[in-house]
């Protein structure tokens, strides 16, 4: 077959900062999917994009080409509006767990096609698999039936959604080309648009535990994704949220499920509840319920009822005891004072090294491993007071976990002002 373009021409054009034509981008993605464009060519092109960027039209073309590499799902005819949420990922980010059943308790369908963790950010499916019997796989018919019946489903994304993105993302992971706004935005939005949701709320994080350290970069990513969603007919809103400290008091798998259940019972750490409610309010508004009161549904048990049905529908036992780590080690405060910093990245890396996360795709995770925090940024602490407990099934992992968390906590003399950092920094629509 005669090919319409040459991969080298497209790599060179991007290297020389030229704008690529729509048919060139579509050919590149299609030829990569067919194996005509080699991995090293696609990686070189991704590096050229990382260095030289893409304009809005090019990003839209790339997104649509990746959507067209696979199947498009639809939730039309479900009898409920569908609203989805996506987080760019962070340390202790368990918000999907309480959020999906909470929003579904108002009659909105929440399809959460989720992934597994890689590196220091955890995966929603890894967390839920610590519940005895729970299964991540739902075929499209079962997903639809669960959404019609229970309203919420958190399940594994099938391989048919944007397969070109799947291959490109794996390549980027090993070639230093992840941190590119056009590539991240098109990767996330191709999967979300292919999934067929009518509306989408994005939680775009910035700070040490996030992809984007700088809030200005996170804002650009959020604006790019909102534009992509809007151009594709998916009403999209983004919240920019702080990820410089871990969310809540737990980072791991089973311990994050436990904390999510506390939030569903009307309690839990204030920041986890605050972000759950902020995202729920946006999702409810997009689902046509701007005046709904999500806090009431956490406090009166409606959200918990949907959680229990959602877990049971996928084979899980919501009453089963969660796994408990065999080994624990407590880190204490070295001085009296005020906790000035609690670095999210350090806590995330510690949890990962303790066994809560994986270094390579396909590796098993320990469900009981992780880090439980006993104080939050801004708290007054005393020398000897526990700051964090490291949990693992494998004592050989403790030294590396300890090494990671060693610099996480900064204690300043009592009375030092701790600058306020709002959890939700901005809203982009």
User: Residue 48 half-sphere exposure, CB side, CA atoms within 13 Å?
Assistant: 20
Site track 294-333 with ligand URA (rule: CB under 6 A), x = hit: ----------------------------------------
Separation between Cα atoms, residue 240 and residue 31, nearest integer Å = 36
Q: What is the dihedral of CA 126, 130, 132, 137, to 10 degrees?
A: -10
Q: Check if 260 is active-site.
A: no
Query: Using the rule CB under 6 A, is 45 a contact of ligand URA?
Result: no
Taking a C-beta distance cutoff of 8 angstroms, is the pair 411, 402 a contact? no
Q: Check if 191 is active-site.
A: yes
Query: Using the rule CB under 6 A, is 169 a contact of ligand URA?
Result: yes
Q: Burial letters for 278-287: b for 16+ Cβ neighbours within 10 Å, e otherwise?
A: bbbbbbbbbb
Scanning 12-20, 30-38, 178-186, 372-380 for contacts with ligand URA by CB under 6 A, the matching segment is 178-186
Separation between Cα atoms, residue 163 and residue 69, nearest integer Å = 6
Least distance CB 176 / ligand URA (angstroms): 13
Total binding residues toward ligand URA, as defined by CB under 6 A: 6
Strand 199-206 with 83-87, pairing: parallel
Site track 337-376 with ligand URA (rule: CB under 6 A), x = hit: ----------------------------------------
With CB atoms as reference, the residue minimizing the distance to ligand URA is 187
Separation between Cα atoms, residue 283 and residue 264, nearest integer Å = 17
Q: Check if 160 is active-site.
A: no
Taking a C-beta distance cutoff of 8 angstroms, is the pair 186, 228 a contact? yes
Between 178 and 424, name the residue whose CB sits nearer to ligand URA: 178
The residues with which 199 forms a beta bridge, in sequence order, are: 83, 235
Separation between Cα atoms, residue 102 and residue 98, nearest integer Å = 6
Got the DSSP string for 40-86? HHHHHHHHHHHHH---HHHHHHHHHHHHHTS-----TTSSS-BEEEE
Residue of 84, 93, 165, 271 with catalytic role: 165
Out of 187, 224, 251, 392, name the contact with ligand URA by CB under 6 A: 187
Between 146 and 187, name the residue whose CB sits nearer to ligand URA: 187
Between 187 and 276, name the residue whose CB sits nearer to ligand URA: 187
Between 45 and 169, name the residue whose CB sits nearer to ligand URA: 169
Tokens of 225: 């994704």
Query: Using the rule CB under 6 A, is 118 a contact of ligand URA?
Result: no
Query: Using the rule CB under 6 A, is 188 a contact of ligand URA?
Result: yes
Q: Check if 172 is active-site.
A: yes
Scanning 104-112, 133-141, 145-153, 184-192 for contacts with ligand URA by CB under 6 A, the matching segment is 184-192
Q: Check if 271 is active-site.
A: no
Query: Using the rule CB under 6 A, is 194 a contact of ligand URA?
Result: no
Q: Please identify every residue annotated as catalytic.
A: 86, 165, 172, 187, 191
**Site of interaction with ligand URA (CB under 6 A):** 169, 178, 183-184, 187-188
């Amino acid at each position: 077959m005669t090919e319409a373009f040459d991969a080298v021409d497209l790599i060179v054009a991007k290297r020389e900062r030229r704008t690529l034509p729509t048919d060139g981008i579509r050919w590149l993605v299609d030829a990569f999917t067919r194996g005509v464009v080699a991995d090293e060519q696609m990686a070189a092109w991704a590096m050229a994009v990382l260095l030289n960027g893409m304009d809005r039209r090019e990003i839209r073309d790339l997104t649509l080409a990746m959507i067209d590499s696979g199947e498009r799902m639809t939730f039309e005819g479900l009898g409920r509006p569908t609203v989805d949420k996506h987080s760019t990922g962070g340390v202790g980010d368990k918000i999907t767990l309480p959020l999906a059943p909470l929003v579904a308790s108002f009659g909105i369908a929440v399809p959460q096609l989720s992934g597994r963790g890689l590196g220091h950010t955890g995966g929603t499916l890894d967390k839920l698999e610590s519940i005895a019997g729970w299964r991540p796989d739902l075929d499209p018919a079962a997903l639809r039936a669960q959404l019609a019946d229970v309203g919420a489903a958190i399940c594994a994304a099938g391989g048919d959604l944007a397969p070109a993105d799947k291959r490109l993302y794996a390549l980027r992971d090993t070639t230093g080309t992840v941190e590119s706004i056009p590539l991240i935005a098109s990767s996330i939005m191709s999967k979300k648009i292919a999934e067929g949701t009518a509306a989408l709320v994005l939680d775009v994080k910035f700070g040490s535990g996030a992809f984007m350290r700088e809030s200005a970069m996170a804002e650009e990513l959020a604006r790019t994704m909102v534009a992509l969603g809007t151009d594709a007919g998916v009403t999209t809103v983004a919240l920019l949220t702080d990820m410089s400290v871990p969310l809540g008091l737990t980072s791991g798998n089973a311990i994050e499920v436990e904390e999510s259940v506390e939030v569903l019972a009307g309690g839990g750490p204030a920041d986890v509840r605050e972000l759950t409610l902020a995202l729920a309010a946006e999702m409810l508004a997009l689902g046509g319920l701007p005046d709904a009161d999500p806090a009431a549904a956490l406090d009166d048990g409606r959200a918990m009822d949907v959680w229990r049905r959602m877990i049971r529908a996928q084979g899980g036992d919501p009453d089963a005891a969660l796994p408990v780590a065999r080994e624990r080690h407590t880190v204490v405060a070295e001085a009296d004072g005020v906790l000035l910093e609690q670095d999210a990245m350090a806590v995330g890396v510690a949890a990962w090294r303790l066994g809560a996360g994986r270094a390579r795709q396909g590796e098993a995770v320990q469900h009981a491993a992780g880090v439980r925090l006993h104080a939050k940024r801004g708290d007054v602490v005393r020398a000897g007071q526990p700051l964090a407990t490291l949990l693992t099934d494998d004592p050989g992992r403790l030294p590396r976990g300890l090494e990671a968390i060693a610099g996480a906590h900064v204690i300043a003399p009592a009375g030092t002002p701790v600058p306020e950092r709002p959890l939700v920094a901005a809203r982009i629509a």
